[in-house]
Amino acid sequence: MGNLTSGLIWYNRDMNKKAFGGLFFLIIVLAVMLFVSAWTFYYWQAWLFLAIFSVSVLLITLYLMKNDPSLLAKRVDAGPTHETEASQKVLQIFATIIFPAIFILSALDHRFLWSSVPLYLILIGNILVVFGLFAVFLVFKENSFTSAVIEIDPAQKVISTGPYALVRHPMYAGAFVMLVGVPLALGSWWGMIPVIILMSLIVWRLLDEEKFLIKNLAGYSQYQDKVRYRLIPWIW
């Protein structure tokens, strides 16, 4: 028992280091993309966004470290190489390309003054980022099986409570809200172009994921009958 406990402690420490390292790397990469593309540090919209985004994701990470380290481990291991379905590997590759384009194009917009976003919309954009990430947090809190890849855990069951009582894919819904907020927070209209493309990829992913869940997760078909909407209540 002592060896097992010691092993778990060391595993959690390594996972925490990996999670903190991944978060730090993400923030640095976002900062580099924003300020290099804008070619200036005088970009207050980017500073405000980075501060809000960093604090929000850090709080979610700290919560998972304390309350659900197994889910944290599932979220850390992400990307095309971790997907088991061929279609998802392709989708993740495209998403990996499109996601950075949101920040690069928004920063280029700032640099070359392609568009003008009023202050109140910039602030609304930051609120959307926080709200979207909070929705993702509620999903993590409700469902310990929200892996970053499409897979079925042997102990997994259908979750129909909390945000899952409203829509079948509340994490994607939260991601949509956050993604819409990013270009606005960065003061860009042009940044919405890759956002729309990425949203299309997410819709493709969730439709493919539903086919996988119907086939592999007991009770998911009944859950679909109970909760009719995928992303937006009373719409779709």
CATH number at residue 184: 1.20.120.1630
What is the pLDDT at residue 84? 66
Rounded to whole angstroms, the Cα distance separating 230 from 149 reads 18
Nearest to 103 by CA among 208, 190, 42, 228: 190
Q: In total, how many domains does the chain have?
A: 1
Asked if the structure places residue 232 within a domain, the reply is no
Q: Which residues contact 109 (CB under 8 A, 6 or more apart)?
A: 115, 186, 187, 188, 189, 190, 191
Asked if the structure places residue 208 within a domain, the reply is yes
Highest mean pLDDT among 16-20, 148-152, 190-194: 190-194
Domain span holding position 85: 2-226
The arithmetic mean of pLDDT across residues 203-207, rounded, is: 90
8: Cα separation from own chain's centroid: 27
Binned at pLDDT 50, 70 and 90, residue 9 comes out as: very low
User: Quick check: 72 and 20 in contact, CB under 8 A?
Assistant: no
Cβ-based burial of 202 (10 A; exposed 0-12, middle 13-18, buried ≥19): buried
- The residue count of the chain comes to 236
The arithmetic mean of pLDDT across residues 175-190, rounded, is: 97
Question: What predicted TM-score, i.e. pTM, was given to this entire model?
Answer: 0.88
Whether the pLDDT of residue 103 is over 50: the answer is yes
Looking at per-residue confidence, does 98 or 148 come out higher? 98
Asked if the structure places residue 218 within a domain, the reply is yes
Asked if the structure places residue 233 within a domain, the reply is no
For the chain, how big is the Rg over CA atoms in Å? Answer: 19
What is the pLDDT at residue 154? 76
Whether the pLDDT of residue 14 is over 70: the answer is yes
What is the pLDDT at residue 78? 63
Whether the pLDDT of residue 164 is over 80: the answer is yes
